[in-house]
């Protein structure tokens, strides 16, 4: 029992927790932006697959790592444009369209993989992002290495949270994004296009989701596998609800969740196979559902979430 408790004070545990949190932070911020603008984006799972592949493949073809990140973001934005076009001006069901975008992005990625790499049996590797120790800060015991001896993409994840929070709450664009998610007709009355803001938000959010996927192939691992996103997109959707659509709370949720995930892996090693490993693997998903139920009663959804907007109605 003592052993299970001591894990919490090891630096390696927190390093792993932040590493696991990083792709979730990108994905959660991406989904948060979309939902804040009133659009549920269930394309997230597939967009992460597409981002994971396109970023990795760019580097595999000799591109720079940051070029890879950029290509992943652009790939995500393109799928975001598709989702935005279908759900905003056309007003299609955001549920069905999102599932469709996930199926399309996933299958297109697998198809492209098979065409571009027809002969490979084991997935080829790239040189991924290396951890970079921030001077001084990384010397703080336990938390130092966890927070400040990570790859540059993790630092980009922190930065993303700050930028998303700043833009949403401190800039006119952010005010407009939040307003189209709450009261779109009021925004239209100001002479701002609801359609443009919503599509823009979905594209930006989708770009972040794709970077979250790319984190897995370019930072956490060094190659692309099928099924590697493995529900992380769906978990990000739960984290947005858990974080009450606020970047700071969502960040805390993502880190708590990742800490739990890192913890179950270590607990699995300690218990040494007495409990079936599937129980541990289930925990993140069970935890997500529990979190949803706990916060659901007091959740304050963006009022216009999932409600298509038609100019001149109401």
Partner 1 sequence: MRLEPRATPSAAATILWPAAAIGATIVFSSLLVMIAGASPFTVFFLVFKGAAGSQFALVETLTRATPLIFTGLAVAVAFRARLWNIGAEAQLYLGAVMTVVLGTGAVTLPSAGLIPLIMLAAMLTGALALLGPAILKTRFGVDEVVTTLLLNFIILLFVSMLLEGILKDPMGLGWPQSKRVIAEAQLPRLIQGKRLHFGFILAIVSAIIVWVIMKKTVLGYEMRAVGHNAEAARFAGIPVNRVIAKTALLSGGLAALAGFSEVAGLKGNLTLDLSPGYGYTGIVVAMLALLNPLGVIAAAIFVAGIFVGADAMSRSANVPSYIAEVMVATSLLTMVTAIMLMRYRVRWR
Q: Under the rule (CB under 8 A), what is the footprint of partner 1?
A: 42, 82, 86, 89-93, 95-97, 99-101, 103-104, 106-108, 110-111, 114-115, 118, 230-231, 234-235, 237-238, 241, 276, 278-279, 281-282, 285-286, 288-289, 292-293, 296-297, 299, 310-312
Cβ nearer to partner 1, comparing 104 with 173: 104
Cα–Cα separations (whole angstroms), residue 98 to 46, 186, 206, 247, 267: 9, 27, 12, 22, 36
Cβ nearer to partner 1, comparing 13 with 280: 280
For the record, the structure tokens of 225 come out as 């596998």
Cα–Cα separations (whole angstroms), residue 164 to 48, 158, 192, 249, 290: 19, 10, 21, 12, 27
Do residues 251 and 229 make contact, with C-beta atoms less than 8 angstroms apart?
A: no
Cβ nearer to partner 1, comparing 270 with 286: 286
Task: State the minimum distance, in angstroms, from the CB of residue 284 to partner 1.
Answer: 9
How many whole angstroms from its chain centre is CA 288? 15
For the record, the structure tokens of 209 come out as 């989701």
Query: How many other CB atoms sit within 10 Å of the CB of residue 164?
Result: 25
3-state helix, strand, coil in the chain (%, to 5): 70, 0, 25
Cβ nearer to partner 1, comparing 70 with 113: 113
Task: State the minimum distance, in angstroms, from the CB of residue 154 to partner 1.
Answer: 25
Task: State the minimum distance, in angstroms, from the CB of residue 46 to partner 1.
Answer: 9
Task: State the minimum distance, in angstroms, from the CB of residue 41 to partner 1.
Answer: 12
Cβ nearer to partner 1, comparing 270 with 282: 282
Task: State the minimum distance, in angstroms, from the CB of residue 250 to partner 1.
Answer: 15
Q: Kindly state the DSSP code that residue 130 receives in the 8-state scheme.
A: P
Cβ nearer to partner 1, comparing 35 with 262: 35
Task: State the minimum distance, in angstroms, from the CB of residue 42 to partner 1.
Answer: 7
- Name the β-bridge partners of 132: 150
């Amino acid at each position: 029992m003592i052993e299970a408790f001591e894990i919490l004070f090891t630096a390696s545990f927190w390093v792993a927790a932040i590493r696991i949190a990083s792709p979730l932070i990108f994905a959660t911020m991406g989904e948060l932006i979309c939902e804040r603008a009133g659009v549920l984006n269930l394309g997230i799972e597939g967009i992460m697959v597409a981002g994971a592949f396109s970023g990795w493949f760019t580097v595999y073809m000799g591109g720079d790592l940051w070029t890879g990140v950029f290509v992943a973001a652009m790939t995500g934005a393109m799928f975001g444009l598709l989702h935005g076009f279908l759900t905003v001006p056309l007003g299609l069901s955001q549920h069905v369209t999102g599932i469709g975008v996930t199926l399309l992005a996933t299958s297109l990625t697998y198809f492209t993989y098979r065409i571009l790499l027809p002969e490979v049996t084991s997935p080829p590797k790239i040189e991924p992002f290396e951890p970079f120790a921030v001077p001084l800060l990384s010397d703080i015991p336990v938390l130092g290495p966890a927070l400040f001896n990570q790859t540059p993409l993790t630092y980009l994840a922190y930065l993303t949270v700050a930028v998303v929070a700043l833009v949403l709450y401190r800039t006119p664009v952010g005010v407009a994004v939040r307003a189209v998610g709450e009261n779109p007709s009021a925004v239209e009355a100001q002479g701002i296009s609801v359609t443009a803001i919503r599509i823009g938000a979905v594209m930006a959010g989708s770009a972040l989701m794709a970077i979250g996927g790319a984190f897995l192939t370019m930072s956490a691992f060094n190659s692309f596998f099928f099924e590697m996103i493995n529900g992380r997109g769906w978990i990000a959707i739960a984290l947005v609800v858990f974080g009450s659509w606020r970047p700071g709370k969502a960040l805390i949720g993502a880190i708590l969740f990742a800490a739990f995930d890192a913890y179950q892996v270590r607990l699995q090693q300690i218990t040494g196979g007495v409990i079936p490993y599937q129980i541990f693997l289930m925990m993140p998903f069970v935890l997500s559902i529990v979190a949803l139920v706990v916060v659901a009663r007091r959740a304050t959804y963006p009022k216009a979430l999932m409600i298509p907007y038609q100019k001149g109605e109401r």
